């Protein structure tokens, strides 16, 4: 009698990477939801990005009180944490957590790159980048892993991300990219039951809020471009993966909830600076000169109107951040903003 090889294959080895920066409350809530996930021997790497609060202690205490095996380390060389536990340890919840405590804020890109290096050096088939301000559902992981494993030439996979409030409303279910490399979220604001989601859908980009990175993608293309520090790095990575001939997909049966804006905030100077500067850097990297010139002309004219609106609202902090971003773009400055203290 023939045996279906798929039923005999061991589940893919997945390491989930959660970045924390002065946000232990969100991180602990995210970890608590991961501890309910149905997936064999779930491995989690938390990278604390130089938090100024007591995040490392708080996360360690949560592990102890929840019975999650935890090891705390400084940023280790890849693989120094040793091999993962055997795959038979558990079928549900977090089997092992590695907490890497960085001495300073390395940024979203570098922090997640440290996590990915550790994940793949210790045998992971997939690394899942997951925002700490998310709450997952128990069966969110398997649909993404299956979408990336069973379809050919998948370079990145994502799932459906709903707002934390209201939970029936979509924030991310795929992206379309126009000729000027502007990224437009699909189905945002629609209710899940009315969106007609089914199966696995193609997308032009996958958000770094939840991004499944296969080993073959990482080995061929590396991780995030650290020039971005934070913001737009997921769009750049998506463009790079697509340019290498891979396809990007969204597994619609995968579902999580996102507290949008908890990491840097919505319309705050830090997020506005990085969003503005990195948007321009992305155009410089990928747009041909004639389209880039057209975009820059429109962009600079439109900023005058935007900053006039900010002035009427008394948001001089945003005007200052936006001007600094444009100035740094033309000066070729990348990485961490000089005013980003931690």
- Read off the pLDDT of residues 244-281 as tens digits, 9 standing for 90 and up: 999 999 999 999 999 986 555 567 899 899 999 999 99
Query: Are 227 and 294 in a shared domain?
Result: no
Whether residue 206 is contained in a domain is answered as yes
Query: Are 153 and 96 in a shared domain?
Result: yes
What tokens were used for 19?
A: 């970045």
| Last residue of one domain, picked from the residues 209, 230, 258 | 258
Whether residue 297 is contained in a domain is answered as yes
Residue 11: per-residue pLDDT: 86
Tell me the pairing of strands 154-163 and 170-172: antiparallel
Q: Name which of 73-82, 255-264, 306-315 the model is least confident about.
A: 73-82
Give the range of the structural domain holding residue 294, as residue numbers without chain letter.
Answer: 269-331
Query: Are 286 and 215 in a shared domain?
Result: no
Query: Are 190 and 273 in a shared domain?
Result: no
Give pLDDT tens digits for 5-43. Answer: 444 567 899 999 999 999 999 999 999 999 999 999 899
Task: Place 2 in a pLDDT band, splitting at 50, 70 and 90.
Answer: very low
| Counted domains in the chain | 2
CB contact burial 295-318 (16+ within 10 A = b; e otherwise): bbeebeeebeeebeebeeeebeeb
Whether residue 35 is contained in a domain is answered as yes
Whether residue 69 is contained in a domain is answered as yes
The rounded distance, in Å, linking the Cα atoms of 192 and 207 is 18
The rounded distance, in Å, linking the Cα atoms of 15 and 94 is 10
Query: Are 214 and 252 in a shared domain?
Result: yes
CB contact burial 218-255 (16+ within 10 A = b; e otherwise): beeeebbbbebbbbbbbbbbbbbbbeeebebbbbbbbb
Output 342 or 242, whichever has higher pLDDT. 242
Q: Give me the chain's average pLDDT, please.
A: 91
Query: Are 230 and 306 in a shared domain?
Result: no
Question: Which residue, chain included where needed, has tokens 């899940």?
Answer: 192
- State the average pLDDT over residues 54-81: 85
Query: Are 242 and 218 in a shared domain?
Result: yes
**The model's pTM:** 0.91
Whether residue 1 is contained in a domain is answered as no
Residue 187: per-residue pLDDT: 92
Give pLDDT tens digits for 83-125. Answer: 555 544 678 899 999 999 999 999 999 999 999 999 999 999 9
Give pLDDT tens digits for 149-167. Answer: 988 899 999 999 999 999 9
Query: Are 289 and 254 in a shared domain?
Result: no
Query: Are 204 and 310 in a shared domain?
Result: no
């Amino acid at each position: 009698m023939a045996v279906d090889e798929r039923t005999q294959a061991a589940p893919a080895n997945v390491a989930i990477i959660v970045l924390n920066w002065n946000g232990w409350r969100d991180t602990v809530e995210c970890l608590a939801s991961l501890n309910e996930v149905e997936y064999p021997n779930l491995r989690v790497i938390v990278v604390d990005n130089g938090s100024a609060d007591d995040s490392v202690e708080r996360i360690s205490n949560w592990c102890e009180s929840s019975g999650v095996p935890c090891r705390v380390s400084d940023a280790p060389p890849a693989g120094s944490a040793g091999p993962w536990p055997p795959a038979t340890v558990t079928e549900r919840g977090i089997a092992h957590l590695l907490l890497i405590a960085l001495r300073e804020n390395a940024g979203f890109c570098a922090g997640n790159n440290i996590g990915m290096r550790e994940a793949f050096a210790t045998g992971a088939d997939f690394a899942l980048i997951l925002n700490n301000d998310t709450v997952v559902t128990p069966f969110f992981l398997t649909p993404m892993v299956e979408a990336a494993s069973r379809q050919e030439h998948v370079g990145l996979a994502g799932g459906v991300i709903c707002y934390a409030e209201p939970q029936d409303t979509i924030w991310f279910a795929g992206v379309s990219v126009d000729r000027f490399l502007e990224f437009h979220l699909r189905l945002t604001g629609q209710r899940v039951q009315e969106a007609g989601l089914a199966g696995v859908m193609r997308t032009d980009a996958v958000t770094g809020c939840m991004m499944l990175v296969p080993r073959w993608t990482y080995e061929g293309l590396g991780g995030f471009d650290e020039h971005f520090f934070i913001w737009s790095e997921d769009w750049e990575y998506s463009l790079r993966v697509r340019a290498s001939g891979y396809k990007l997909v969204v597994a619609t049966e995968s579902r999580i909830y996102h507290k949008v804006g908890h990491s840097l905030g919505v319309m705050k100077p830090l997020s506005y600076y990085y969003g503005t500067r990195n948007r321009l850097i992305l155009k410089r990297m990928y747009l041909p000169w004639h389209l880039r010139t057209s975009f820059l002309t429109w962009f600079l004219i439109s900023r005058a109107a935007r900053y006039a609106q900010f002035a009427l609202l008394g948001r001089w902090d945003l005007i200052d951040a936006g001007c600094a971003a444009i100035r740094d773009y033309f000066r070729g400055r990348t990485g961490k903003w000089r005013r980003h203290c931690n």
